[in-house]
Structure 1
Amino acid sequence: MSRPLPQRKLLILIISLLVLGIFFRFVNLDRKVYWHDEVYTSMRSSGYTGKEVGEQVFNGNVISIADLQKYQRLSPEKNLNDTIDALIKHPEHPPLYYLMVRFWMQFFGSSVTVTRSLSAALSLLVFPSIYWLSLELFESSLVGWVAVAIFTVSPFHVLYAQEAREYSLWTVTILLSSAALLRAIRQTKNQDTKLPILSWSMYAVSLVLSFYTFLFSAFVAIGHGVYVFATEGYRITRTFTAYLLASLVGVIAFIPWFLVIIVNFTRVKQQTHWTTIKTPILFLFKIWGLHLSCIFLDFGLDIEHPFTYLVPPLLLFLVGYSIYFLYRNTTQQVWLFILALIGITPLFLIAPDLIFGGIRSAESRYFVPVYIGIQLAVAYLFATKISAVNILRQQVWRGIMLVLISGAVISCTVSSQSETWWNKKVSYHNHYIAKIINQANSPLLVSETSDFKAGNIISLSYLLEPKVKFQSITDPKVQKIADGFSDIFLHYPREDFQRILEQQHNAKVEMVKNPHNAPLWKLIR
């Protein structure tokens, strides 16, 4: 005996989740610390480079918070050409998103809320995009709605929808290019004589948008190529030829920025050198587990928390079963597309870390194509199981789906009220550091001069009170710390820097004790 799926209840659930998802994307946009990378989003979109800011501000003089924040806003002295020039000097990040940020700030202002709201607004395009992709791939509106429900309250997607970086836009372009490809393939096979030029043009355009959003779109494009070639029986067919022509258009359109990368390749290597830092394999395995869990459950817990050892293996089992179920119940045209999304990106990120060492694969934001593939596979599993003929099986899988979605909603609720989160990385402790500094009567924050410190100091400035002053020290043997301040704090001082300051000022450098272990030092005279 079969029981029809309660469509009304499912519709109410999906609408409720959509409302919650939109709410989570826009609530408390300015609450979490505006971290190092977001600082550079505002800086470059406003037409400034890190080197320029360093020369003008980090010169040994005592300056105010307002002096630091000047380079986070649009000004008459910097026009669109300056923004393009700043982006060219950092070509590891293609320009599309950052140009959008500049125009967004011109219309709405340069506050943290406004800047982040662009990512939040772009993330709303994920909903129709994932539904379209699901229709093209599974030919099922039920799978599409379940996928929308999963994406809507996914902690990872909500988290990056509230960050002033390009990853929400990248998610949208991946979905659009994937759906456009499947549509073009379908129409090509349905038309014996005439190629659907419009559909292949849509794919080419979406590919260009993806390339100009994030460089790792190349991995998605490679996956598309593998998929088309395999499904065409490894033959040069009419469909594969059309795919090659559309992809060629996308590659040619990206050549201008590719030349920018080549010309500035030394700078690109410098900016991405951190990805080659040697890291223990065990640490990477734990990080990969958290990568998997953050798309369903994310409570911002420490990597050594029992959560790391318990939840990711359970989710890995669910994902593994979803892929197996997909393989057993769909055609090659379906499961191979999902596997191409899931498998190609790790091949270029995890494999080099295992062979040569590095932390490329430690960045969750680089795995967006993988997350999309996983969530689509899980959506297909849920949609099939909750509409099964067997009543008991229906109830069990509805319960599993509700538990997973409820956990995602709770994760988003906890995150929305937090002032920092794991994705803030080098700026994670800035909120706690600011609270300590703000308690002093007349504090001075001292830092060595470097591009990294510039981004993190400006990040910290968003949380400091106007009474706090800042001084950078280029050469501690020559420059002296200014007098007239009640407390002198040091921002990530190197050991040799500490020794020189102790000798010069007949003082002692001590780490400030605090319950959050926030890294902050103090010069005690």
Structure 2
Amino acid sequence: MNQNLRLPPNWLRFLIIILLVLGVFFRFANLDGKVYSIEEAATSLRISGYTEQEIRQQIFNGKVISLKDLQRYQHLNPEKTLADTIKGLAIEEPQLPPLYYVMLRSWVQWFGDSITGIRSLSAVISLLVFPCLYWLCIELFGLPLVAWIAIALMAVSPFFMLYAQEARLYSLWTVIIPLTSAALLRAIRVKTIFSWVFYSLTLSLAFYTTVLSGLVAIGHGIYVVGTQGIRLSKTLSAYLIASIVGLLTFAPWIYVIVNYFYASYSATEWASLRKIPYVFVIVGFLSNIIRVFFDVPNKLLWQALPNTYQPIDVILGIISLPLFLSILFLVGYSIYFLCLKSPKRVWLFIVSLIAVNSLIFLLPDLFIGGIRAVIPRFQIPNYMCILLAVAYLLAIKISAVSNSFRQQQIGKIIMLALISCGVISCTISSQSNLWWNKYFNIDNIPIARIINQTQSPLVISDSGGSHYINILSLSHVLDPKVKFQLISKIEDLTKIPSISNSFSDLFLLNPSEILRERLEKEQKFKTNLVFDGSKINPWKSDLFLWKLE
């Protein structure tokens, strides 16, 4: 092994230390600043131990309640236990295994269930990706320089930074992926019983983190067969036993998924029902890759908060396209270079994971319809492997293995450019209260601004669709003076509850058309649209705010 590939040069060591410090800072900076999304509100609901059904029964009854009454379902309560959290997941969202939620509930019991307290667990967990990623690089490449460059890129990756600050399971999954992958490679290398037991344990943790880990396991299986052959060797036998044991430990939750299959299907069908042209699927899939290294505000966010960003953001927006194309070319060339220059046992591992995780989402979207492939969080294994491929390319190019001094300098320039893109992206997004991962809640701030500026507001809504989770999300940016009157499904009511006239302002939040019409007809209200979310983002189901007069 070339000595230059063993340890980073002094200038790179100094740079890596700076980037690690920045990476830690970005992960903990402004933790409570971003909008608390509907997915995060769902997380708080789960760890509170309450269920959607209880919310509909207890507060969608036509009575006026306070913000505190509503927030009850976003905080821990002594009447609910850890068993209620697991039960709620099982009967309403069985596609979400309980590991992260068990960890989070235990965490907030010690550190509080404020937004900062809840998100801080993801931030802390995200720091574990650095040793896990280093271990994976050593097992896969055997080159410490690749590992250090990968850590440098990960530290300021805007994509991984965003999920390190979100109260969802994806920060944990980001750690589990390199951990279980490194455990597999070590087990293949050392061939001890303990190493295979450890791999089985990490595989079990992966399954209990997210069912999407099954795709990682399939990628592992393709890699083992591809490197060991289909002959039942000791290594292949040990792998099969370890994988089966890991899967068997997940059997109790598999039973839950099967038993409550309809609930799981209902919670995830949105990704298959939404139809977009296949060209947009491909463009969206490719453009999401760029976010691993570069991510700046887009037009959607400018429209939502036009006063948030500085002129530099507009400049970055203008130069985004050539940067996107350059980074996309770099990613493609990195994978090509990896396959050309590295041994089969190296490139096959990365290609297997990328192929499985890409095709399983792309093919259904292209031939059946859906938006699975354009949901960035589903592609975390892909982005991890892409980052490794780029790190390998840069390590080879900046080392003495390169053919010329000129190539070394080009490699250094590209690496510094990628790092600069990451630092700039993280700096901007860490200080913003909205970003693309808060896609479904870009309306919260302008709606809250309208409601909060009134003296004594009452917000009226009904329980159609997923309105309840939108209201829970919105409640985190509303003032305590706001009151709510939440009505059950209008079709089931013969009479709509009377709307009190003791409030200074009456608002209808995303009402069903039936509710709005009946209020106009039966209680003689006039309704004026004061906020139209479709003008901000016409690509999704938006929030609308009406005022009653």
| Aligned equivalents of 1:290, 1:455: Cα separation in 2 | 29
- Quote the residue 1:404 is aligned against: 418
Unpaired runs of 5+ residues, structure 1, are 189-195
Residue 222 of structure 1 deviates from its aligned partner by: 0.3
**1:113-512 mapped onto 2 (5 Å cutoff):** 113-188=116-191, 196-277=192-273, 278-302=275-299, 309-387=321-399, 388-450=402-464, 452-474=466-488, 475=490, 477-512=495-530
Q: Counterpart of 2:189 in structure 1: which amino acid?
A: R
Q: Counterpart of 1:127 in structure 2: which amino acid?
A: F
- Quote the residue 1:62 is aligned against: 64
| Aligned equivalents of 1:499, 1:408: Cα separation in 2 | 50
Q: Counterpart of 2:439 in structure 1: which amino acid?
A: K
Q: Deviations over 1:384-440 (max 9, x none)?
A: 111135222111121111111111111111111111111112222212211111111
**Contact (CA 8 Å) 1:181, 1:200: kept in 2 or not?**
yes
| Aligned equivalents of 1:283, 1:8: Cα separation in 2 | 45
| Aligned equivalents of 1:203, 1:4: Cα separation in 2 | 31
| Aligned equivalents of 1:65, 1:347: Cα separation in 2 | 45
2:167 aligns to what SS in structure 1?
A: coil
- Quote the residue 1:38 is aligned against: 40
Q: Counterpart of 2:298 in structure 1: which amino acid?
A: L
| Aligned equivalents of 2:359, 2:324: Cα separation in 1 | 20
Q: Counterpart of 1:523 in structure 2: which amino acid?
A: K
- Quote the residue 2:304 is aligned against: none
Q: Deviations over 1:23-51 (max 9, x none)?
A: 00011110001111111111111211111
| Aligned equivalents of 1:306, 1:512: Cα separation in 2 | 32
| Aligned equivalents of 1:487, 1:310: Cα separation in 2 | 49
| Aligned equivalents of 2:266, 2:531: Cα separation in 1 | 34
Residue 328 of structure 1 deviates from its aligned partner by: 1.1
**Contact (CA 8 Å) 2:532, 2:544: kept in 1 or not?**
no
1:488 aligns to what SS in structure 2?
A: strand
| Aligned equivalents of 1:238, 1:303: Cα separation in 2 | 54
Unpaired runs of 5+ residues, structure 2, are 302-316, 537-541
**Contact (CA 8 Å) 1:290, 1:308: kept in 2 or not?**
no
Q: Deviations over 1:200-221 (max 9, x none)?
A: 1111000000000000100000
Q: Which range is displaced more, 486-495 or 55-64?
A: 486-495
- Pick closer, same or farther for the CA change 1:81–1:524 going to 2, 3 Å: closer
| Aligned equivalents of 1:307, 1:368: Cα separation in 2 | 26
- Pick closer, same or farther for the CA change 1:290–1:436 going to 2, 3 Å: farther
**Contact (CA 8 Å) 1:286, 1:308: kept in 2 or not?**
no
Residue 303 of structure 1 deviates from its aligned partner by: 6.8
**Contact (CA 8 Å) 1:54, 1:451: kept in 2 or not?**
no
Residue 4 of structure 1 deviates from its aligned partner by: 6.8
| Aligned equivalents of 1:266, 1:217: Cα separation in 2 | 21
Residue 234 of structure 1 deviates from its aligned partner by: 2.9
2:547 aligns to what SS in structure 1?
A: strand
Q: Which range is displaced more, 74-83 or 361-370?
A: 74-83
- Quote the residue 2:55 is aligned against: 53
Residue 524 of structure 1 deviates from its aligned partner by: 3.9
**Contact (CA 8 Å) 1:25, 1:158: kept in 2 or not?**
yes
1:212 aligns to what SS in structure 2?
A: helix
Q: Deviations over 1:339-398 (max 9, x none)?
A: 012110112111111111111122100101100110000000011111135222111121
Q: Deviations over 1:271-296 (max 9, x none)?
A: 11211122222332332133111111
| Aligned equivalents of 1:514, 1:170: Cα separation in 2 | 36
**Contact (CA 8 Å) 1:104, 1:118: kept in 2 or not?**
yes
- Quote the residue 1:22 is aligned against: 24
- Pick closer, same or farther for the CA change 1:301–1:119 going to 2, 3 Å: same
| Aligned equivalents of 1:183, 1:453: Cα separation in 2 | 48
2:502 aligns to what SS in structure 1?
A: coil
| Aligned equivalents of 1:444, 1:368: Cα separation in 2 | 42
- Quote the residue 1:192 is aligned against: none
**Contact (CA 8 Å) 2:27, 2:165: kept in 1 or not?**
yes
**Is structure 2 residue 97 aligned with structure 1 residue 94?**
yes
Residue 306 of structure 1 deviates from its aligned partner by: 6.2
**Across the two proteins, how many residue pairs are aligned to each other?**
517
Q: Which range is displaced more, 383-392 or 324-333?
A: 383-392
Q: Deviations over 1:61-107 (max 9, x none)?
A: 11111111111111111112212211211211000000001100111
Instruction: State percent identity of aligned pairs.
Output: 49
| Aligned equivalents of 2:388, 2:254: Cα separation in 1 | 32
| Aligned equivalents of 1:81, 1:308: Cα separation in 2 | 48
| Aligned equivalents of 2:435, 2:28: Cα separation in 1 | 17
Q: Deviations over 1:124-180 (max 9, x none)?
A: 000000000000010000000000001111111100000010001011111111000
- Quote the residue 1:191 is aligned against: none
Q: Counterpart of 2:86 in structure 1: which amino acid?
A: I
| Aligned equivalents of 1:226, 1:315: Cα separation in 2 | 28
Residue 257 of structure 1 deviates from its aligned partner by: 0.2
Q: Counterpart of 1:522 in structure 2: which amino acid?
A: W
- Quote the residue 1:103 is aligned against: 106
**Contact (CA 8 Å) 1:201, 1:246: kept in 2 or not?**
yes
Residue 519 of structure 1 deviates from its aligned partner by: 4.2
**Contact (CA 8 Å) 1:51, 1:451: kept in 2 or not?**
no
| Aligned equivalents of 1:442, 1:243: Cα separation in 2 | 64
**Contact (CA 8 Å) 1:289, 1:308: kept in 2 or not?**
no
Normalising to structure 2: TM-score of the pair?
0.90
Residue 523 of structure 1 deviates from its aligned partner by: 2.5
**Contact (CA 8 Å) 1:287, 1:303: kept in 2 or not?**
no
**Contact (CA 8 Å) 2:530, 2:547: kept in 1 or not?**
no
| Aligned equivalents of 1:203, 1:482: Cα separation in 2 | 61
Q: Which range is displaced more, 98-107 or 446-455?
A: 446-455
**Contact (CA 8 Å) 1:445, 1:470: kept in 2 or not?**
yes
